[in-house]
Amino acid sequence: MDSERDVTRIVRSWLREDGHESADRILDDVLALLDTNTQHLSWWQARRIAGVRNLTTLAIAAAAVVVVAVVGINLLPSFGGVGGPAAPTSAPSDAPAARGTPGPDSWSEIEPGNHVIATPQMRIHLTMPAGWKGDETGIGLFPGVWTGSLYLAPATYEVSYVLTDVCAAEADIDLIAVGPTVDDLTTALVNQTGIQRSGPTDVTLGGYPARKFVLNLLPSCPTRDGLWADASRTYGLGLRHGETGTVYVVDVNGSRLIITSSAMNGASSEHVAQLEAIAASIEIEPVPNAEPLAGVGPGGWLPIGSHSLTVDGVPFSFTVPALSYDRGWARYRKVYISKDTVGPQGAEAAIYWTGFPDSADMVPCPNLLGLPRDASAGAIATKMAAAPGTELVVGPTDVIVGGHEAKHFVLTVRETLGCDPGFFVTWDPAGGGPGWWTTNAGDTIRVWIVNLDGKLFVLVGVSTEDASTSLEQEIQDIVDTIQFE
């Protein structure tokens, strides 16, 4: 053979010949199977990026219809609207996850009239027209086509960084730190390049002075998962092509409030007018003596080292291993931590934690196993270890976790049964986070049921078939570091 070039030419020519396969039969078969194969739940919105700078995404991402993972927002009827007088609550920043599958199909219809979005810092009164939907995390309109959707929501985290160039390639993304004032953020957004921007325009929102920006991606630039980031460098405010984003930076007695809205370019003029009317109806009521905004959003990368959480009243700590070859573990709220190593989509390992049986999480599949509320760790382990659709690999055995007795077993999932016994990871997809919400065939499930002086605490480590041995070991390593206070 004469040269490498010849070999390449021959191989390329060989690969391109005999290309007469017909996929018609396959297509027919697949399309016929769609009706009997329900799509798996999504976690929507919170996108983690395989960027070199360890950026993750906050909930207000470019999918743009539902604003999820905005922790601690309650959409409450008020002013005598449907549901009676307002129930002024300031949900804690680690409030339990919203229930139901995020997305337009699960939103409840909002009655026309006055409502309140209550954050720990502000109560945002707004007047809703008919036809809009929302959940505890935002309001939006999905008129049947994606390109016609709209939303509005406040940010409940502090914006600490702004992308310097929205159009930069992912590997070249750079952030600039911004201070806490309206002027700080305004200046940073004005200096942001690679984006089509109008503003800042001085407006009044909710009775307070505000700077308004209207933003669009440049046609030649990539869809952006976030235009800014919180202190953990987790993205917020995603923007995609065909979407117009509006940012209000409001000066509420010296405190910075950020409200964002989005309208896909296919939204009707009537709906856009409704969105503008909703914004115009906003009245802002600061919460006296409120705690400052959270420095980080509901998720983010975990620095190597020790971390503390309180889940279902159980305070504990764990240590993220010191590994530098990949992007590390990320936490989503208090529900789980997860990690991906082999690509840009999806985690390959996750650890979920919850109390039992009174936790708001871990429902409803354990119930389907017929576990009584007063079940012992051993009884739970025996029942779970024999769950249909799984194959027991290890245990149940007696182990020690964090100095406490625990039952441990390992299963592999053999059948995709939906939310049936065997699917232990069934936390409601409250939105956001690089994890998954059901286990799939091929996944490995490691369960530790820890007896904390009579109170049970359940740890579930899940890994996919793609997970490397070292990644699986990291699950065990992290569990080994758990200490209960």
Partner 1 sequence: MDTDLVIRAQRGDKGAYALVATEIASRFLAVARRILRDLDLAEDATQQALLTIWLELPKLRDPARFDAWSYRLLVRACYAEGRRERRWASELRLLPVDQSLADRGLSSVIDRDQLERGFHRLSLDHRTVVVLHHFLDLPLERVAEICGIATGTAHSRLHHAMRALRAALDADTRAPVREVI
- Write down the least CB distance from residue 405 to partner 1, Å: 36
Residue closer to partner 1, measured from CB, 65 or 178: 65
Closest separation in Å from C-beta 48 to partner 1: 7
Cβ neighbours around 410 below 10 Å, total = 18
Shortest Å, Cβ 66 to partner 1: 11
Closest contact distance (angstroms) between CB of 33 and partner 1 is 6
- Encoded amino acid at 48, one letter: R
Rounded distance, CA 320 to CA 478, Å?
6
Q: Which is nearer to partner 1, 15 or 253 (CB)?
A: 15
- Please say which residue, 63 or 263, places its beta carbon nearer to partner 1: 63
Task: Give min distance, CB of 205 to partner 1, in A.
Answer: 30
Binding stretches for partner 1 (CB under 8 A): 1, 4, 7-8, 10-12, 14-17, 19, 21-23, 25-27, 29-31, 33-35, 37-48, 63, 103-105, 146-147, 222-223, 225, 240-242, 342-346, 434, 436, 466
Shortest Cβ distance from residue 145 to partner 1 (Å)?
Answer: 8
The residue among 113 and 143 lying less far from partner 1, judged by its C-beta, is: 143
Q: Taking the complex as a whole, how short is the minimal distance between the CB of residue 337 and partner 1, in angstroms?
A: 17
195 vs 401, which CB is nearer to partner 1?
Answer: 195
* Nearer to partner 1 among residue 147 and residue 473 (C-beta): 147
**Nearest CA-CA partner of 472 in 420, 394, 381:** 394
Closer residue to partner 1, CB minimum distance, 333 or 407 = 333
Which of 266/378 has CB closer to partner 1? 266
How many Å apart are CA 281 and CA 11, to the nearest integer? 66
Compute the distance between CA of residue 288 and CA of residue 114 in angstroms, rounded to an integer. Answer: 22
Q: How far is the CB of 26 from partner 1 (least distance, A)?
A: 5
**Cβ 259 vs Cβ 153: under 8 Å:** yes
| Closest residue by Cα to residue 48 from 214, 170, 167 | 170
Residue 143 CB, shortest distance to partner 1, in Å, is: 13
User: What is the rounded distance in angstroms from the CA atom of residue 416 to the CA atom of residue 399?
Assistant: 29
CA distance 371 to 439: 20
All residues at 6 or more sequence positions from 288 whose CB lies less than 8 Å from its CB, including other chains: none
Please state, in angstroms and rounded to a whole number, the distance separating the CA atoms of residues 71 and 458.
23
**Which of 83-91's residues contact partners 24+ apart within 8 Å by CB, and which partners?**
83/111, 86/116, 86/123, 88/116, 88/118, 88/123, 89/118, 90/118, 90/119, 90/120, 90/287, 90/290, 91/118, 91/119, 91/120
Question: β-strand 234-236 against 56-57: which pairing, if any?
Answer: parallel
Closest CA to 104 of 139, 142, 160, 150: 142
When the beta carbons of 316 and 436 are compared against partner 1, the nearer one is: 436
Chain position carrying tokens 């889940």 = 311
